[in-house]
Amino acid sequence: MTRKLNRIVFPLAAFVALVALACTCGGSTTPTPAPLPTAAPPTKAPVVLPTEPPATKPPIGSGGAPFTLAADPYVHPGGAFSVSYPDGWEFDERSDGIFINEPGGFSSMDMSFTNVGQPLDADSFNNYIQAIEANWFGGFTDYSQESVEAQQDGSTLVLKTLKTSDSTPYTVFSYYWQTGNVIFEQDFWATDDQYDAYVDGFVEIANSAQTDDSAASGAPLYEFRYTFTCPDSLCTFSAPYGWTYNQNTSFDNTIADVFTAPDGLAYVESVAYDDGTEIARSVAGAFALGLLREFYAQDISVTDDQVQSDGSERLDWFSPSGGYSGETFFETRGTTFLMLTFVANDQFWDLYQPVWSDLVGSYDVP
């Protein structure tokens, strides 16, 4: 098993340094914390809600699903998977999966796949599942994870309840399983009052799935992403749903947002510092370099320093003793200092670099 990368950023210490360095540069003594960042609404629609429920549903507990399965299964383009589905339900096909919705009804199902680049061990696989649950399902109102259960076929079942934007209560269950470098996921949605009528049919559909990880492994790494908004809406960029997100606001004037790969071998950290005092560009350069050498690695070696067309500055660096490398962009926006850093174990830099490249490519100033 590949050696795990030890955590190489110490945010709490870094936050102290941010405050201290800023103060030596004429920072304000009155804290003015930046507002918390927000995540944009997810783009993967879970359900289509009608104005009123259909009148043809069977009563709860009558037995049997209120649908029949189509004669032929759905096959995703490229052959990544096939799965049975209710006859007459509507399709919304994506490059990474399929959303199938009950016409005029509340229920739906979704099947998708994610190329994670390499097989994940049990802990990393669980990290991925919990990241999806937190970053995607956790965005709904009253999300509550009821149970997480290992299945005999090697998949993991996650049962949860939540409410959609119109306050409709749903019971949702998801299956996650890993085949090679690919994680497959099935999600089944039913309103609380219809769950008992649908669950048996949904389980039958779940058991019908056939997958081909070789056909799915060519997909972009961690393709399922969302738009993250930086503090005070100073920027936006795409982040993988499958990476664990954490935020630290423990220190005055500072917000640090961290996105970590499930196996801990790479992560992205976005830092925003604002004490109400404008930071000169020359000071920002010394500030960033001091943070890198003091808190990312004492033996850091900068291999490239380039001013970008948008006015930011990029530093490429590595730690000989740590066996990891990084790339950092930093800039000042009025009184705000922004620093965006990618760090990866040297052996896995090439694996995770496409995620970083896409993130930087999606970086936008509203």
Tens-digit pLDDT profile for residues 143-187: 999 999 999 999 999 999 999 999 999 999 999 999 999 999 999
What superfamily in CATH does domain 74-216 come from? Mog1/PsbP, alpha/beta/alpha sandwich (3.40.1000.10)
* 59: three-class secondary structure by DSSP: coil
Is pLDDT of 104 > 70?
yes
How far CA 36 is from CA of 230, 256, 269, 275, in Å, comes to 8, 10, 15, 15
Nearest by Cα to 135 from 265, 225, 19, 55: 225
Nearest by Cα to 354 from 247, 270, 268: 268
Is pLDDT of 39 > 70?
no
pLDDT of residue 64: 58
Percent of the chain residues past pLDDT 90, beyond the cut: 64
Region 75-85: mean pLDDT is: 97
* Rounded CA separation 342/351 (Å): 13
CATH class of 11-41+224-362: alpha beta
93: amino acid identity, one letter: E
Evaluate whether 11-41+224-362 and 74-216 have a shared fold: yes
Q: 61-65, 139-143, 301-305 — which is least confidently predicted? A: 61-65
Is pLDDT of 189 > 90?
yes
* Rounded CA separation 157/176 (Å): 7
User: What residues does each domain of the chain span?
Assistant: 11-41+224-362, 74-216
Tens-digit pLDDT profile for residues 118-128: 999 999 999 99
